[in-house]
Structure 1
C-alpha cells in the first residue's frame, strides 16, 4: 500500500536574520558620547561604561543599572576591570586616576573611591591593571606613563616613564599572563611594548602603524600585538621584534575599538563607518567571518567572557546585544546536510538537453515536440565580481595588479572595476596602504593606458586620486615606485607636448579653411537659367605653400 506524501520539516537557519527581536536588544541613553565600555572578567553580566561625568555599571541580564556614579566634576574617558572583577579604575579630564570597589553597595551618585591618584596634569585616556592586579598603569596626554602600587596608601608612583611618546597616549593594554608586560599606543603613530622591571626606560618593541592609534590589544600568549588606527588594523609579531604580519582594510572610516571574543579566537573591530567586523584568529589568515551594520558610528565595544552579550557605544547610546539560544526545531545548515536533509539547499547542475514537450493543435492528437533552441550561456563574473559584490574594494584592486593576466590582457576589467569603486566613493581607500608589488604595476598601467580615449575618463580620476589627494604623502616610497612615478610624469609631459602640436596643426588647418571659403563660389553668383556654369580656379596650392613656409 502506498504511503501518503509527508512534507519535510522546514529547516530554519539562525544565521539568516533580518531583524533583532526585542529580547535580544536593549538601549540605554547616556548624558554624552560614549568613551569606553568594559565587561567584568568575573561576572559576565556586569558591564561598566563612561560617558561625560558619569560612571555606570549595568546588569545586562536584567537590563538595569547596578551603580551610577556621577560625582565627577570633569569628564571621564576610560574604565577597566581588574582580573578578579572586584576593582575597577577610571581616568579622566582632570588627570586623576580613581579605583572603586565594583561590588560595594552605596547610594547612587555618591560612591566614594578606594584610591585616588593625582597622576597627570593633563587628561588620562588609558588605565590598566597588571596581570597580578597589584599595580595600576596610567597613561597621559603628555606622553608619560606612571605605575602605582595599589597596596600602598601614598600616591607616589613606583615607576615613571617620561617621554614615552611624543604625542597623546590614547590606548593601552596589559598582558593577561605576564605581570610586567604592557603596551601603549599614541597619536604619534607608534605602538610600544614595555617591561616594568627593566632598569632603563627603553621599550622592548616599537612599531609604526602609519596613522594615529585609537586602540591596541594583546593576543592571548602575548606573541601578537594588534593595533587599530585610521582605516587599518595591523598585526605585529612581538617575538621577532615587531614584524608586520597582516593588514586588514575592511573599514572605510577610522577604526575606533578592538575586542576579543570566543577565548581569543575571534577579533571584533568597530569603526566610524557604522560597522563591526568579526575576524578569525585561529585560522592563521585573519579572514573576515561576519559584519554587523549599526545605525550610528561605533565609539566603544566589548564582549562578555561567555560570548552571550555584546555592548556597543554609539554616540550617546549604549546598545546591549544578547545571543538567542537556538530552539528545538532549529538547526544549522551543516547539521542538516550531515543528516541528509535540506536537499533544497544543494545546487544541482542543469543538463544541457531540455526534456521533450507535448503540443496539440486543433483537430489533431498530441505530438512530441523537441526544443532545439540552445540555452543561453550563464556569464560568470569571476573573482573580481565576487569581491566587489562583498565590498572588498582593496582586495579586488590587489588581485587585479598581482595577477599579470589582467594587466597584460584585460585592461577593460581593470577599468570597469575602477569605475565601480569610484561610483561607490571608495577609490581613495582602495588605493591606500599598498606595497611595491601592487603600486609599481598600477603606475605602469596608468602610463600605458591613461591617454587611451576609451579609458581616459576613469583613469584620469584614478591618477588624480593617487596624486592630488596625496594618498602616500607621508610615506617613504620604494625606489621602484619612484621610478614608475617618473615614467608617469614623462608620459604626461609627452601627452602635453602632443596636445600642443595638435593645437598648432588645428590652427594651420583653420587658416586653410578660411582661405578656401573666400574663393568659394556660391549659388547666387551663378547664372542657373541662361548661362553656363563657370568655375574659377582656387589659389589652394599657393596658400598651402605659404602656410608651410611660415
Structure 2
C-alpha cells in the first residue's frame, strides 16, 4: 500500500515533544553507556564477536574482541569490562577475530604478519609471514575449526589452514588494497567474498582459485562487506552508500544513501532482520531489511570506524551496542531487560503490519488500547521523529496519482525529491517559518547538502542572505551555521570569482564576529557576577 503524501510539516518554535515509535523506543532502550578509552590513543578499527557454529555446537564464548593500535582486547559480554589484552604485535594490529568455540584468536598487522593465539594462555600458536604488506582482514571459516582467510594490501585474498606453514590458496584479481571480506554462511562456506579499493566486490570459490566466480562494480572504494544470513544477498559500503547485491541474479537490488559521509562499518542485529551502519559522519543508523527503510538512528561525538551489536543467550538476543570511534573511545550501551520481550513483540507486529499494508488497521487497534499513539507510516519513517538525526526515505513508484490540491509548491518538489527546487521555492516565499521548515526537513532527510550543491551565483545569493539575516536569532542559529558550513565546503574555491558572493560572505563573517563579541561580553559579565555572589551570600 503506497504511503500517503503529506505536506512538509511547518516547524513550530519551540518544538513540542514528539512521540516515538516502538522501533525507536527499542533502540533508545540501549542505555547505561560505558566508555573505554584506548590506551594507545589509536582509533577503534574493528569489533567482533564469535558467530554461533554452523556445525551444531553452541557458542560458549563470553567475549567480544576490540582491535586498537598494537593491541587486541577481549571484553566480557556479561560485565562489559576488559578481561584480557594481547600485545604481541610488532605494529598496528587489525581484525582480531575469535573462532566460534572461543578458544583461538587470529589477527593480522601492519607488517603483513598473521598470528593465531591461544585465548587462555595468550601463547602464539601459529605465525604466517607470507604477506609483505598490511593485512586488514582475518576471518574464520564458520564451519571449519582450522580454516581461515585473509585480505591484504598486496591486493590478494588468501586461504589458510592452521596446521600448515603456507597459504592453501591465493586468489588474485583485485588491483588495489583489499580491506574487507569474509566467508558466505550456510552451505556456501567454501565461497569467499572480498571488497577492494579498486571499487569491486568479488566472490571466490576455494575449489577454483584461478579467477573470481562473480564480480560486482561499486561506485567508490569498498570499505566493508557483509553477507545476509540467507547467503544469497551481500551488503557493501562505499563512500556514503550501501549497495544491496543479489548473488543469484548477479545485480544490485537497492542502494542505501542515508549517510552524509563514508559508511565505515556494517553489522546485523535482531537475528538478521535489521542492518546497523556506522559512518564517518558520527551517525549510527538502523534499517529494516525488507524495504531498507531507516527505523532508528543515533549520533556519536566522533567518526565511527567500527560497530557491532553483541548478542547473548540461546536466542541470540541483542544485548549491547558497541561502537568504536576515531578518537580512541569505545562506547558500550546495554539493552535493559524487563520490558524487552514486550517491546520486541510490539515492534515486530508493527513492522509486519507496515510491510503488509495494514498499518492503519494496526494503529486503530493500538489507539483503542493506549488512547494515544503515533499515526502510521509517517511517524515511523519520517526523519523528524529522530529529534535531529538524519534520515531519508525514498520509495520510488510510491507516489499517489492524485496529488493533494492543498500541497504547496515546495511540498510537491520535496516529495518528488527535487530538493534544490523545494528550497528555492521556499526562499521565494520570503516567509522565515516556511524556509526554516523546509531546511529542517532537508536536514532530517540527509538532503541538505544535495539541495545546496551545483548552484550558480544567482541561486546561491538568497541562501547566503537568509543565513546573514537570521544567524543572530537564537531559534535559527543552528540551521544557519549548518548551511553556512556546507556552503563554505562546497564553494570556498569559487568565492573569489564572484564579487557579489564575496561581499555576502564578508557580511556573514562580520555578523558572526559581532555575535562572538557579544558572547565574550556575556562570559565576562558572568565571571564578575560569580565573584559577587559569595560576598552577597556572606
TM-score range, shorter chain: 0.5 to 0.7
Q: 1:286 is matched with which residue?
A: 292
| Aligned with residue 129 of structure 1, among 140, 147, 152 | 140
CA displacement 1:163-193 (0-9 Å, x = unmatched): x211111111211222311100111111111
In the TM superposition, residue 36 of structure 1 has moved relative to its aligned partner by 0.5
**In the alignment, is residue 344 of structure 1 matched against residue 361 of structure 2?**
no
From 170, 185, 189, the equivalent of 2:195 is 185
The correspondence for 1:57, drawn from 54, 57, 74, is 74
* C-alpha displacement of 1:430: 6.3
More RCO (CA 8 Å, sep 6+): 2
Inter-partner Cα distance in structure 1 for 2:167 and 2:189? 17
Matched residue, 1:476: none
CA positional deviation for 1:220:
1.1
123, 135, 140: which one aligns with 2:152: 140
Please state how far the C-alpha of 1:253 moved relative to its aligned partner. Answer: 1.1
Q: Give the TM-score of the pair, scaled to structure 2.
A: 0.62
Matches of 2:146 and 2:193, distance apart in 1: 17
Partner in structure 1 of residue 207 of structure 2? 197
Aligned to 1:211: 220
Contact 2:115 2:126 in 1 (8 A): yes
Residue 304 (structure 1) aligned with residue 316 (structure 2): no
SS at match of 2:304: coil
Q: 1:142 to 1:411 in 2, by over 3 A?
A: same
For the 8 Å contact 1:40–1:304, the answer to whether it is kept is no
Moved more, 178-187 or 321-330: 321-330
Which residue number in structure 2 is paired with residue 236 of structure 1? 245
Q: 1:260 aligns with which of 268, 290, 293?
A: 268
Contact 2:366 2:373 in 1 (8 A): no
Structure 1 residues 146-545: aligned runs within 5 Å: 146-152=158-164, 155-162=165-172, 164-177=173-186, 178-198=188-208, 200-241=209-250, 243-281=251-289, 284-305=290-311, 306=316, 307-315=318-326, 316-326=328-338, 342-345=369-372, 387=382, 389=384, 395=393, 411-413=409-411, 414=413, 415-417=421-423, 420-421=438-439, 424=443, 426-429=447-450, 457=462
Q: Alpha-carbon deviation of 1:248?
A: 0.8
Contact 1:94/1:121, CA 8 A, preserved across alignment:
yes
For the residue of structure 2 that corresponds to 1:114, the secondary structure is strand
Compared with structure 1, are the counterparts of its residues 431 and 257 closer, same or farther at alpha carbon in structure 2 (3 Å cutoff)?
farther
Shift in Å at residue 134 of structure 1?
2.6
Deviation (angstroms), 1:221: 2.0
Q: Distance in 2 between matches of 1:429 and 1:277?
A: 19
Distance 1:77 1:264 in 2: 25
Aligned equivalent of 2:44: 34
Contact 1:13-1:333 within 8 A present in 2 as well: no
TM-score by length of 1: 0.61
How many Å separate the matches in 1 of 2:253 and 2:452? 20
> Are 1:117 and 2:128 counterparts?
yes
CA contact under 8 A between 1:87 and 1:101: conserved in structure 2? Answer: yes
How many angstroms does 1:234 deviate by? 0.9
Deviations 1:70-91 (CA, angstroms, capped at 9, x unpaired): 2222111212222333222101
Do the aligned partners of 1:122 and 1:142 also contact (CA within 8 Å) in 2? yes
Q: Distance in 2 between matches of 1:347 and 1:157?
A: 56
Q: Could you tell me how far apart the structure 1 residues matched to 2:145 and 2:204 are? A: 17
Bigger fraction of residues in helix: 2
* Displacement after TM superposition at 1:18 (Å): 11
- Aligned residue pair count: 391
Is the Cα–Cα contact under 8 Å of residues 45 and 67 in structure 2 kept in the other structure?
Answer: yes
Deviation at 1:62, TM superposition (A): 1.6
Q: What is the rounded CA distance, in whole Å, between the counterparts of 1:18 and 1:218 in structure 2?
A: 23
CA distance in 2, matches of 1:346, 1:215: 38
Secondary structure of residue in 2 paired with 1:119:
coil
CA distance in 2, matches of 1:457, 1:234: 36
Cα separation, 1, equivalents of 2:112 and 2:228:
29
**1:15 Cα offset (Å):** 5.5
Larger Rg: 1
Query: In angstroms, what is the RMSD of aligned CA positions?
Result: 4.5
